[in-house]
Amino acid sequence: MKKLRYYLFSLFLFGLLGCSNLLDTNPTNFYSQETYWQNSQHALNALTGCYQALTNSDLYDAQIPFMFEAMSPNAFNYDNQGAAGDIARGVHTATTLGINNFMWRGCYRGIGRCNTLLSNIERIDMDSQLKSRIIGEAKFLRAFYYYRLNILFNGVPLIIDEPDPAKQATLPRNSYDEVLKQVFKDLNDAASVLPASYSKSDKGRVTKGAALALKARALLQNYEYNEVVNTIEEIFDLNVYSLYPNYNGIFRKANEGNQEIIFDIRFQAPELTNSYDIIMAQYSTQAPVKGLVDLYQMIDGLPIAESELYNPERPYENRDPRFKQSILYIGAPWRNRTATTADLHQTGFSFRKFTEYNESTQGTISNSDVNYVEIRFADVLLMYAEALNEISGPTDDVYNAINSIRQRTTVGMPVIPQGLSKESMREVIRLERRIELAGEGSYFYDIRRWRTIEKEMNEPIFDYKGDLIENRKFDPARDYFWPIPYTEIDLNPNLQQNPGY
């Protein structure tokens, strides 16, 4: 648990030493708890540290967010980055260190920084409205970090006080419900004080809508359908969000902060960059597979097996326009030429989202500053449709939510046919989530919520030619949750391992 001690205390190193040019203390090269918390700028610097934890390589800087797609039936991780391939094949064990270790480490780093800020901000004499907003932002971020840990590990040590290694290093795991209760408390507190929007100088900060959207996501994962609907209707009432007309444009740096984005992780070159271009375009380490590609409907709204428009000699023509806006394929325009098998040598496909480098040679390879879109309005609409359908079947509001997404300006797919049963609409919603959010890591969580993972991750995956890539395996008695990193248990025997590891 020595690592946890470091993560919880790391805000001090970042907030106090990393922002020394903004501080007015003596001496200027060292700060303590007693000398740091003096004014509003110190609180804002500390809040920057809470956000900055998101951009670390353990969370959103590099491979991690895209690995979730490869741990679903949508994609293949060809070089087993972060042991994502081991998890997809069901061969990971308690001693496998990879994405489970990164997520544990990265989230507790963020939690420690949030706790340090929340434990000390009351010492500062500052504008009360600004103080309230900073507290709301920090509580949202703490909830975000705990939500991720809880859903992956099924209960973790719940720490909401200032870092104190002597007291916290040997804490046992709290239950899933205990952690979830704190997540909801923090999100409710945040939503009650955060603004619906910001002026240009503060764009990118957490909003009331982000707190409500994350709350809705957590409620949906726990099948609280009525509360999901109520929470999302609060988002609608804000009148802040709508669908961005250009589907692929949602993820472009030039369209940063567009009306569809509810919460994103922001980068800015040259100070803060990521490696999304090299991951998604140069190496395609998380490559889409044929099973996902074949699910894109034809422009008449029918699957490829039923539509007269489908031509196996030209399989990518006349498809749902989201296909070409989401996925690069052999023969597609690519970097001012045509993509070949040498370019897409893993599966024959690559994702187009989160990179500027697939269409031209203007990408930055290892210094991208494209933002990671974590929650967007289309996701909220689909959550709303799913919850409403589970409550009362396919009402007009269910149809309207889905059809608005399908008829986005650059998509223009046919509306869903009327007269569907609750069960048929459920399948429509699930397919729509898989297509609309492809490449965004959502399907990893969706199939766990739907319990369809027991089938979908016990099937083979194939490349563009239909050749077998690998067989996947999922053990429902074990694999719904990840193993606690064995290094953490070695340092703290009070951390009980998850069953089956």
Confidence of residue 346 (pLDDT cuts 50, 70, 90): confident
Percent of the chain, pLDDT > 90? 84
Report the C-alpha gap between 479 and 499 in whole angstroms.
9
CB atoms within 10 A of CB 67: 28
CA dist 207 and 191 (Å) reads: 8
Helix axes 208-221, 225-238, angle to 10 degrees: 160
Q: Provide the residue ranges of all domains of the chain, joining segments of one domain with +.
A: 1-174+481-501
CA distances in angstroms from 66 to 62, 160, 208, 459, listed in the order given: 8, 29, 27, 21
Give me the percent of the chain exceeding a pLDDT of 70: 91
Q: Is the pLDDT reported for residue 231 higher than 60?
A: yes
Banded model confidence at residue 336, pLDDT cuts 50, 70, 90: confident
3-state helix, strand, coil in the chain (%, to 5): 50, 10, 45
pLDDT of residue 53: 97
Quick one: pLDDT at residue 285? 80
What is the identity of the amino acid at 451?
A: R
Question: Long-range contact list for 278-283, CB < 8 A, 24+ apart?
Answer: 278/365, 278/366, 278/368, 279/62, 279/63, 279/66, 280/66, 280/350, 280/351, 280/352, 280/353, 280/354, 280/355, 280/357, 280/358, 281/328, 281/350, 281/355, 281/357, 281/358, 281/363, 282/357, 282/365
Let me know: does 321 contact 331? Beta carbons within 8 Å: no
Check if the beta carbon of residue 431 is closer than 8 Å to that of residue 291: no
Q: 470 near 89, Cβ under 8 Å? A: yes
Q: pLDDT digits over 255-300, tens only?
A: 999 999 999 999 999 999 998 988 876 667 889 999 999 999 999 9
Determine if residue 266 is left, alpha or beta; phi over 0 gives left, psi from -120 to 50 gives alpha, anything else beta. beta
Scanning 121-164, the segments in alpha helix (DSSP H) are 128-153
How high is the mean pLDDT of the chain?
92
Q: Find where tokens 């766990």 sit.
A: 448
Mean pLDDT check: name the lowest of 19-28, 348-357, 403-412. 19-28
Q: Provide the pLDDT for residue 21.
A: 32
pTM comes to 0.93
Burial of residue 253, with CB atoms counted within 10 A of its CB: 0-12 exposed, 13-18 middle, 19 or more buried: middle
CB 197 within 8 Å of CB 240: yes
At residue 359 the predicted structure's pLDDT band, cuts being 50, 70 and 90, is low
- For 133-186, the pLDDT digits (tens) are 999 999 999 999 999 999 999 999 999 999 999 999 999 999 999 999 999 999
Answer for the pair 353, 251: CB distance below 8 angstroms, yes or no.
Answer: yes
For the segment 22-38, the average pLDDT, to the nearest whole number, is: 59
CATH code for 1-174+481-501?
1.25.40.390
Angstrom distances, CA of residue 26 to CA of 29, 31, 44, 120, 125: 8, 9, 20, 20, 20
| Integer Cα distance of 404 and 109 in angstroms | 39
Rounded CA-CA distance 171/493 in Å is 9
Q: What pLDDT sits at residue 364?
A: 61
CA distance linking residue 88 with residue 74, whole number of Å: 11
CB 32 within 8 Å of CB 137 = no
The answer to whether residue 229 scores a pLDDT higher than 80 is yes
**322-to-28, 67, 311, 480 alpha-carbon distances in Å:** 54, 21, 18, 30
pLDDT at 77: 92
Q: Which of 2-6, 31-35, 178-182, 383-387 has the lowest mean pLDDT?
A: 2-6
d(CA 277, CA 292): 22
Average pLDDT over residues 212-241: 98
Does residue 163 contact residue 8 with C-beta atoms inside 8 Å? yes
What is the C-alpha to C-alpha distance for residues 163 and 109, in angstroms, rounded to an integer?
11
User: In sequence order, which residues have a C-beta less than 8 Å from that of residue 107 and are 6 or more positions away?
Assistant: 59, 145, 146, 148, 149
* Cα(112)–Cα(105) distance, integer angstroms: 11
The pLDDT assigned to 12 comes to 40
Three-state helix/strand/coil letters over 262-327: EEEECCECCCECECHHHHHHHCCCEEECHHHHCCCCECCCCCCCCCCCCCCCCCCCCECCHHHHHE
Pick the more confident residue, 403 or 6.
403
Residue 496 has pLDDT above 70, yes or no: yes
Q: Is the pLDDT of residue 1 over 70?
A: no
pLDDT at 361: 57
What value does the mean pLDDT take over residues 212-228? 98
**Is residue 90 scored above 90 in pLDDT?**
yes
